């Protein structure tokens, strides 16, 4: 569907377009009489003046923008939609994401955390409006996620949706958000497609991707295990696993000089990997498990139980806490990458970890940082733009350089909305070296962003066409 | 309650009952007559539904919205998309009920038809490259909603024929399991080997819904046609017309098709052919002895319900612009159809639609609500659905719709009695105490029934685990 479906408010605002006097009068009532219903306004067509948001002060003095998506934001609150997996394979990540989101909301409204450190943010909401939120359960399923997001957009008038664990979900929801002209802030999505072939204008990703995992990981494992090895891959059969295994193949072949024996898909949500694991050939030197969440929490321990770690090296390209905890006795020495780690010695990391721990009595996982960061970045962009008008907010975020998200210098590239930032190569800690149940990983290498990434016409970005701002 | 049935024997107030009844006849006057003659009409259910469909989005959004605010915003308000979604599922369960409620065949594989239609409609509108078993093709990109609907429904119907042909040879659990298996085969095909066509676990999103008859976009609000009728109405603010304001054309399209489906199903049920469906449900053997080809009738019922599911599937994909194997083809979707149908009540044509509403409302709205004590519902929505299901099936065996019908009957009686009491003030107190006694007796009977049910169930469960030696 090319045009966005009208939301109730949208249409109520634009109803005068029909020139229907009766309706216009009624619409005026519904809006609390902001539009006098006199029919002077020309609806929601391009450049219409029916923004009607009354007080200029309310919206940062920018009353000149036409309504678009859920803009303008009426009243003295603004609603964010937190759409996370509360059930399904990635529900544990979802739980921590929600903690990050709630903390961000709390800080935006009352100050604290990064709000005190970022110049853009004030601690009295966003543009003076109190931040409210609605939550939804994606069930780690793209269709459920879309239905939940569309409820947030049409009923709750959410100005921004964020969330998702699973790239399948992120891609499905960001497409919806592009249609509806509501901003989407990706949370945990690592597939190349999210900012590659499936990229959209209305979505931004702070997380790195499978391509960068390949770039960061290949030199490290080459140095650790040597060249001329044979590797065998298992991957979750959806967008993330597919691009993940492709990137592994590319960089292990080109950079590490290894050769791939085979790469085998496993369905997302598989609980028993023993038949896949028993197929791992004898001449394999390295086994790459491209699994995540509950899947990885199943496949890695099963691989170790099958004794595979004794005859070959196991690599888990993307670590997550659930898997590390589930396999905590056996992750010692296993390489992978991670978005971020709560033990990084960095000022923004420290202040985030501090306030998170104060609130929840446990350190944040990187899913929580992503949630927190993405919400803060959106809020800051709105403050800089001085309006919630989506195209302006988007332009504010594009090509924005920053160093206040816990990972040093970062660039949100305008041509594909992918953040270019450092990537952590990590290794499982031996049980004896741990301070707590959350201290599971050693940061082996913080690969600087200059060693990673790709040009706007290379790699995943080559297939990216962002689409419209909505004000063209 | 004592007035149930015309049994003046029950109490000495029996004559009173009669009076009330004759009294009620005169209450309605010409309006009552018109109402009764409308009720006699075969298509009254369609006409009633048509009227309801006009106010439905308004009730859902404004009505529930107001309720939501008065309860302190727990997040239980409706929204536009839900109205279409309920009707889409409504179409499916109306068809499904022809099979379950009338022919009494329990299929656990109707997601196969739903999903097939959804995917084929999506593919028709797409311009994606698809490939399967070495062949590849570019999809035509035919975006007409009507073409998508017809194509999807046609393929689902074609698929229902062989699946029905094979499954109907068995009955009961075997039939259910066979249909389930066919559905699951398609699911795994879509997820794995067929992912060149369906895009597998990533979901298929290249769905392009064009304008209806080349004129109006689905997303446009109906109010753009407001000018056509509003000058006639002038400046009167008729509240429910607001609903036309934020209702998209899509809803009208779905609502019209819903009415069409309802009309067709209604005709089937009221035709001699449909009578045989019902007879099949009641006693298959007897139908066979009459000399009718049982297999053929069952197959036809199966195919018809498959076509309805297909219609719903095609509409669903137009509504969502996205389809994923888990939603389209997984057995849980088939199970959801069963739950909706039973929840609403299998005994009537329109009943299952209420089930579809309750189901979708809980799935899409309650799942995002926050209530005291429990907090956020989130993924607990299935638990709540389960509780509602158990409650309704236990307390109202005829489903939610049956309960509503009973409620309506009760209210009509109450109003009638009230009118009668006003007319006969001298006899009213006596009749009232009598009525109260009757209600008490009714409740007692009902409680005894429930109690007996509980005891027998508990005894059954105990005997299952080996306590009490069985009953």
| pLDDT at residue B168, rounded to an integer | 92
Alpha carbon separation from A469 to A201, A414, B453 (Å, rounded): 6, 12, 62
- Read off the pTM: 0.82
B7 Cα to chain A: minimum distance (Å): 52
Mean pLDDT along residues A187-195:
93
For residues A463 and A469, the answer to whether their CB atoms sit within 8 Å is no
Say if residues B240 and B58 touch (Cβ distance below 8 Å). yes
Flag if B323 and A137 touch (Cβ within 8 Å): no
Q: Which of A9, A19, A20, A182 to mutate to test the interface with B (most CBs of B within 10 A)?
A: A20
In this prediction, residues B337-363 reach a mean pLDDT of 93
Q: Quick check: B109 and B163 in contact, CB under 8 A?
A: yes
pLDDT at B386 over 70: yes
Across the interface, whether the CB atoms of A86 and B379 are under 8 A apart is answered yes
- If pLDDT is split at 50, 70 and 90, which confidence band does A366 have? very high
pLDDT at residue number B25:
43
- pLDDT digits 0-9 by tens, A217-247: 999 999 999 999 999 999 999 999 999 999 9
Q: What is the pLDDT of residues A368-407, one digit of tens each?
A: 999 999 999 999 999 999 999 999 999 999 999 999 999 9
Residue B466 has pLDDT above 70, yes or no: no
Averaged pLDDT for residues B438-460? 83
**Taking residues A130-135, what's their average pLDDT?**
93
Three-state secondary structure along B124-191? HHCCCEEEECCEEEECCCCCCHHHHHHHHHHHHHHHHHHHHHHHCCCCHHHHHHHHHHHHHHHHHHHH
Confidence class for position A55, pLDDT limits 50, 70, 90:
very low
**Strands (DSSP E) along A267-361, which ranges?**
286-290, 313-318, 335-338
Q: What is the spatial distance between Cα A99 and Cα A113, in angstroms, rounded to a whole number?
A: 14
Mean pLDDT of A101-116: 94
Q: Summarize pLDDT for B133-152 with one digit per residue, the tens.
A: 888 888 888 889 999 999 99
CA distance A8 to chain B (A): 5
Contact B246 A2 (CB under 8 A): no
Q: Is the pLDDT of residue B233 over 60?
A: no
Top-ranked range on mean pLDDT: pick from A413-417, B77-81, B240-244, B466-470: A413-417
Q: What is the mean pLDDT of residues B265-285?
A: 92
Q: In chain B, pLDDT over 70 holds for what percent of residues?
A: 86
Give percent of chain B above pLDDT 90: 43
Q: What is the H or E stretch that residue A278 is in?
A: helix A274-278
**pLDDT at position B464, please?**
66
Contacts of A5 in chain B (CB under 8 A): 80-81, 218-219, 248, 250
Of chain A, the end-to-end C-alpha distance in Å amounts to 18
Contact between chains at B219 and A1 (C-beta distance less than 8 A): yes
pLDDT, tens only, B8-58: 444 444 344 444 444 444 455 677 777 777 667 778 888 888 888 888 888
**Per-residue pLDDT at A34:** 40
**Cβ contacts from A onto B, under 8 A:** 170
Determine, for residues A151 and B201 on separate chains, whether the beta-carbon distance falls below 8 Å: no
Q: What is the pLDDT of residues B180-214, one digit of tens each?
A: 999 999 999 998 888 899 988 888 988 988 888 77
Q: Which of B457, B342, B438 is nearest to B389 (CA)?
A: B342
Could you give the C-alpha distances from A236 to A89, A233, B331, in angstroms and in order?
A: 12, 10, 21
Least confident window among A262-276, A382-396, B67-81, B107-121: B67-81
pLDDT at B246: 67
Is the pLDDT at B1 greater than 70, yes or no?
A: no
Q: Which residue has the higher pLDDT, B118 or B4?
A: B118
Give B223 to chain A, closest Cα distance, Å. Answer: 7
Residues A50-72 have a mean pLDDT of: 61
> Looking at the predicted structure, is the pLDDT value of residue B132 above 70?
yes
Q: Which range among A101-105, A323-327, A408-412 shows the weakest confidence by mean pLDDT?
A: A323-327
> Do residues A402 and A384 touch, judged by C-beta distance below 8 A?
no
pLDDT of residue B429: 79
pLDDT range class, residue B414, cuts 50, 70, 90: confident
- Rounded alpha-carbon distances, angstroms, from residue B451 to B84, B446, B462: 40, 8, 16
In this prediction, residues B161-173 reach a mean pLDDT of 92
Q: B205: nearest CA in chain A? A: A172
For residue B100, CA distances in Å to A441, B43, B280, B292, B377 come to 56, 22, 11, 20, 31
Q: Worst-scoring range by mean pLDDT, A12-16, A250-254, A423-427, B452-456?
A: A12-16
Mean pLDDT of A126-132: 94
Q: Is the pLDDT of residue B463 over 80?
A: no
């Amino acid at each position: 569907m090319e045009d966005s479906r009208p939301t109730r408010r949208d249409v109520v605002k634009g109803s005068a377009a029909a020139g229907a006097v009766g309706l216009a009068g009624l619409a005026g009532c519904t809006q609390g009489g902001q539009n006098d219903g006199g029919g002077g306004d020309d609806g929601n067509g391009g450049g219409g003046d029916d923004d009607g948001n009354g007080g200029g002060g309310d919206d940062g003095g920018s009353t000149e923008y036409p309504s678009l998506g859920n803009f303008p934001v009426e009243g003295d609150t603004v609603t964010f939609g937190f759409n996370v997996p509360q059930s399904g394979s990635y529900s544990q990540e979802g739980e921590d994401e929600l903690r990050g989101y709630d903390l961000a909301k709390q800080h935006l409204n009352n100050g604290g955390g990064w709000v005190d450190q970022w110049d853009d943010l004030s601690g009295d909401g966003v543009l003076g409006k109190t931040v409210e939120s609605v939550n939804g359960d994606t069930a780690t399923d793209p269709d459920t996620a879309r239905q939940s997001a569309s409820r947030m957009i049409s009923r709750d008038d959410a100005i921004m949706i964020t969330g998702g664990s699973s790239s399948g979900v992120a891609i499905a929801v960001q497409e919806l958000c592009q249609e509806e002209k509501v901003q989407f802030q990706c949370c945990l999505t690592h597939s190349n497609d999210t900012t590659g072939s499936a990229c959209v204008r209305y979505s931004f990703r702070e997380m790195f991707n499978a391509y960068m995992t390949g770039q960061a990981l290949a030199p490290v494992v080459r140095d650790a295990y040597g060249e001329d090895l044979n590797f065998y891959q298992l991957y979750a059969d959806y967008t993330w696993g597919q691009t993940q295994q492709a990137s592994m193949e590319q960089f292990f072949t080109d950079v590490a000089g290894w050769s791939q024996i085979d790469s085998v898909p496993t369905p997302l949500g598989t609980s028993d990997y023993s038949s896949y694991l028993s197929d791992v050939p004898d001449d394999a030197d390295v086994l790459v498990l491209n699994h995540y969440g509950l899947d990885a929490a199943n496949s890695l321990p099963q691989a170790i139980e099958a004794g595979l770690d004794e005859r070959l090296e196991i690599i888990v390209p993307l670590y997550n806490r659930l898997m590390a905890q589930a396999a905590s006795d056996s992750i010692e020495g296993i390489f992978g990458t991670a978005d971020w780690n709560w033990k990084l010695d960095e000022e923004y990391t420290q202040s985030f970890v501090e306030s998170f721990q104060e609130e929840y009595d446990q350190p944040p996982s990187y899913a929580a940082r992503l949630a927190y960061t993405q919400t803060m970045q959106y809020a800051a962009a709105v403050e800089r733009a001085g309006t919630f008008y989506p195209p302006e907010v988007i332009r504010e975020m594009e090509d924005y350089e920053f160093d206040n998200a816990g990972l040093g210098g970062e660039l949100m590239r305008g041509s594909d909305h992918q953040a270019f930032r450092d990537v952590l190569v990590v290794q499982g800690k031996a049980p004896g070296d741990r301070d707590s149940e959350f201290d599971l990983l050693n940061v082996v290498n913080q690969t600087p962003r200059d060693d990673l990434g790709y040009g706007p016409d290379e790699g995943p970005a080559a297939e990216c066409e962002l689409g419209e701002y909505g004000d063209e | 309650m004592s007035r149930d049935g015309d049994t003046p024997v029950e109490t000495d107030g029996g004559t009173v009952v009669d009076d009330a009844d004759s009294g009620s006849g005169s209450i309605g006057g010409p309006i009552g007559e018109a109402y009764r003659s409308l009720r006699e009409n075969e298509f009254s259910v369609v006409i009633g539904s048509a009227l309801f469909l006009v106010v439905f989005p308004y009730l859902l959004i404004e009505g529930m919205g107001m309720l939501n605010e008065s309860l302190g915003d727990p997040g239980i308000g409706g929204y536009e998309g839900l109205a279409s979604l309920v009707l889409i599922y409504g179409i499916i369960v109306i068809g499904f009920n022809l099979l379950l409620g009338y022919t009494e065949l329990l299929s656990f594989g109707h997601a196969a038809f739903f999903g097939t239609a959804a995917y084929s409609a999506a593919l028709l509108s797409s311009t994606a490259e698809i490939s399967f078993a070495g062949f590849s093709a570019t999809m035509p990109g035919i975006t007409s909603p009507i073409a998508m609907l017809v194509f999807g429904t046609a393929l689902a119907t074609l698929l229902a024929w062989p699946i029905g042909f094979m499954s109907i040879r068995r009955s009961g659990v075997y039939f259910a399991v066979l249909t389930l298996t066919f559905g699951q085969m398609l699911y795994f095909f879509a997820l794995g080997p067929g992912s060149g066509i369906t895009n597998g676990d990533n979901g298929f999103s290249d769905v392009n819904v064009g304008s209806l008859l080349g004129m109006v976009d689905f997303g446009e609000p109906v109010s753009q046609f407001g000018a056509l009728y509003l000058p006639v109405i002038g400046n009167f603010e008729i509240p429910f017309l607001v609903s036309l304001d934020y209702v998209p054309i899509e809803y009208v399209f779905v609502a019209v098709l819903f009415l069409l489906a309802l009309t067709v199903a209604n005709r089937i049920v009221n035709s001699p052919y449909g009578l045989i469906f019902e007879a099949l449900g009641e006693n298959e053997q007897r139908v066979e002895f009459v000399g009718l080809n049982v297999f053929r009738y069952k197959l036809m019922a199966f195919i018809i319900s498959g076509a309805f599911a297909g219609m719903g599937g095609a509409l669903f994909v137009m509504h969502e612009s996205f389809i994923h194997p888990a939603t389209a083809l997984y057995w849980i979707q088939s199970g959801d159809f069963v739950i909706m149908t039973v929840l609403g009540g299998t005994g009537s044509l329109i009943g299952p639609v209420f089930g579809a509403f309750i189901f979708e409302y809980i799935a899409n709205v309650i799942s995002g609500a926050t209530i005291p004590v429990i907090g956020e519902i989130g993924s607990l929505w299935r638990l709540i659905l389960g509780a509602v299901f158990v409650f309704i099936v236990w307390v109202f065996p005829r489903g939610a719709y049956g309960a509503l019908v009973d409620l309506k009957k009760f209210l009509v009686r109450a109003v009638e009695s009230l009118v009668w009491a006003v007319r006969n003030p001298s006899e009213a107190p006596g009749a009232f105490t009598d009525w109260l006694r009757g209600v008490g007796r009714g409740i007692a009977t009902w409680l005894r029934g429930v109690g007996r049910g509980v005891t027998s169930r508990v005894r059954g469960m105990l005997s299952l685990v080996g306590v009490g030696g069985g009953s």
